[in-house]
Amino acid sequence: MSGDAVDSEVVDLCRELVRFDTSNYGDSSGPGERKAAEYVATLLDEVGIEARLYESAPGRTSVVADWGGSGPTARTDRLLLHGHLDVVPAAAEDWQVDPFAGEVIDGYLWGRGTVDMKDFDAMLLAVVRHRQRTGRVPERPVVLCFTADEEAGGHSGAEYLVNHQRHELEGCTEAVGEVGGFSTTVRGRRLYLIEAAEKGMAWLKLTSRGTAGHGSMINPNNAVERLSAAVARIGAYEWPVRLTPTMEVLLATVGDLAGTEVTPETAPDLIEEFGGAARMLGAVISNTLQPTMLQAGYKVNVVPTEATAFLDGRFLPGYEEEFMATLEELVGEGITIEALSHQQPWETPYDGALVASMERSILAEDPEAIVAPYLMSGGTDAKHFRDIGGLRSYGFAPLRLPDDLDFTALFHGVDERVPVDALRFGARVFDRFLDEV
């Protein structure tokens, strides 16, 4: 393996991808992904991989390409490697650097998307381009997919491809995407987390209607009061701990290091062993429901007819029924619940040849490490791609991170950045991984 060539290109590609402002505001505004998609297509075309562009709406562009699939032991089951091209918006005035400049400072590449997820896009492109140039093409057929709109639920990207360009994905039996393979440090040991499950998503709108009137008068049917009480109940509720198979494996791994048996009672303490990563992992041992927006009224002395609240709900695999029943109980009478986006959770067994290949590729570069699965609190395009029957999905964008880096805080955060060495490490690991797929 010629790691130097992959190492050198992955950083340059990530910088160039960051410089495309693909901010996704969740509505029809924003620049879209078209320019970044054309850049990715050009990179693939340069090495003889034919890329196809699909637009669900003007500017909302995804890239699909076929790679590999020939040779004496060629397989028919296809592997889907996917990443998204959009990013969440960034307010430049809050950052130390221009979030779309792709600057390298003190060993870090700074910019919106360096963590979520143009880092993995760059790893994938650098490795595929190098292998194509040097004739190291996998005998297993691979689908390369770079999508639009993941940051707004994937409806104009992955979901569009599944519903309207399904032929591009037929025959895929396994998929690898974002938010996994990064390291955290527990009791002095580096532990790499491979995503094997995701919570379901319920973005909700609550609407309370009452009687409009003068703010100086008694009003027993105040929409704001009713809604505020419901939001307060939601915020104060403590969801019970529920351990899914994926988290039982992860916490058992940590329990071995800490000398603690895994139970629902010990799980919160074991989560704290992850330091900064507990912010994310603490959210995957229970359902969660967070109030995120409130809207009501138009003048201080007028009781409005209507008040609304928006909630970000996430439910564990196997616990949607409990989530919905608890939601209705907390909201109470006189408030309507509207689903703005509803996506199912998923969980893939952490076993098989693909998992073994991911583990071996990490341990070849970091022999003293531990590798284990985890359940992700957010959502990825895997939710849509799993609608292709029988698809086993994992998140594997490998990064070896400094012990003192609060990595999970950088997802959608200010001053998002990734260590240059971690990018190079990830490219080497992914190159090894593709040797075995």
In order, the DSSP letters of 372-392 are EEEEESS--THHHHTTSTT-E
Q: What is residue 73's predicted lDDT score, i.e. its pLDDT?
A: 67
Cβ atoms within 10 Å of 331's Cβ, excluding its own = 23
Structure tokens at 333: 């009478």
Domains along the chain with CATH numbers: 3-186+345-434 (3.40.630.10), 197-343 (3.30.70.360)
How far is C-alpha 375 from the chain's CA centre? 11
In this structure, are residues 183 and 399 in contact, taking their beta carbons and an 8 Å threshold? yes
Q: Whose CA is closest to 423, among 82, 127, 191?
A: 127
Instruction: Say what percent of the chain tops pLDDT 70.
Output: 98
**Collapsed DSSP state (helix, strand, coil) of residue 298:** coil
User: Whole-number mean pLDDT of the chain?
Assistant: 95
Length of the chain: 437
Q: What is the mean pLDDT of residues 3-14?
A: 84
**Amino acid occupying residue 344:** Q
Q: What is the mean pLDDT of residues 89-95?
A: 96
| Secondary structure E strands in 69-116 | 78-84, 104-105, 108-110
pTM: 0.93
Structure tokens at 404: 């003192």
pLDDT tens, residue by residue, 243-255: 999 999 999 999 9
Position 1 confidence tier, pLDDT thresholds 50, 70, 90? very low
Q: What is the mean pLDDT of residues 14-25?
A: 98
The one-character DSSP state at 218 is -
pLDDT tens, residue by residue, 138-178: 999 999 999 999 999 899 999 999 999 999 999 999 999 99
pLDDT tens, residue by residue, 270-313: 999 999 899 999 999 999 999 999 999 999 999 999 999 999 99
- HSE (side-chain half, CA atoms, 13 Å) at 222: 16
